[in-house]
Amino acid sequence: MSQALRTLYCSTPATSACLSLAEAKSHLRVTHIDDDDDITDLALAAQQHVEDYLSRTLMPATWVLSLSAFPAGKRPLMLDVAPYASLTSLAYTDGAGDGQTLTETTDFKVSGNARPAFLFPVYGTTWPTARREPDSVVVTWVAGYADAASVPEVYKRAMRLLIGHWYENREQVVVGTIASELPVGVRTLLRPHRDVRV
């Protein structure tokens, strides 16, 4: 049987950044307000860069994973974005074309501490049979740390380094320097925390 189609997207992005404008300006030692908009944009870009590199999301956001079928038998259903915060729903379309919703603890369990988190059928059961078509299985969950204070400092430190680098080097090409894809200090901080898909 062919592999199930997977579609992943963020349905509700985070509403706040984990590094405030004041924190970014303090790191840059900027006291004027002339560059506030630029620094805010740099902070958001740095957060996105860190999230992309880590395959994680830092602030609470809602994610949706759509599949064309459940995993076979008892195989786990992996949630691609960490850290797991809470499950919103797990729904599917049955063979008759009717919508069904599975209940946590009754039909399946969540291993939320794993990286990545995953869902699995309760003991002695298997996943139900879903109509094999795109979006027949839809899982919605919230990923991200509870608030800015809960985001590990190592991630914020990497963001500060990126903000400082981009603020000082505002052009794509800087004469007299050697270009690098990602500042070495940022890679060093983030690499041990990176979620690598096998």
Q: What is the pTM of this model?
A: 0.82
- Which residues touch 184 (CB under 8 Å, ≥6 apart)? none
| pLDDT single digits (tens) 25-53 | 999 999 999 999 999 999 999 999 999 88
Query: How far, in Å, CA of 115 to CA of 30, rounded?
Result: 38
pLDDT in tens, 60-102: 999 999 999 999 999 999 998 999 999 999 999 999 999 999 9
* Residue with tokens 């030692």, as numbered in its chain: 29
Helix axes 153-168, 36-54, angle to 10 degrees: 130
Give the chain's mean pLDDT.
89
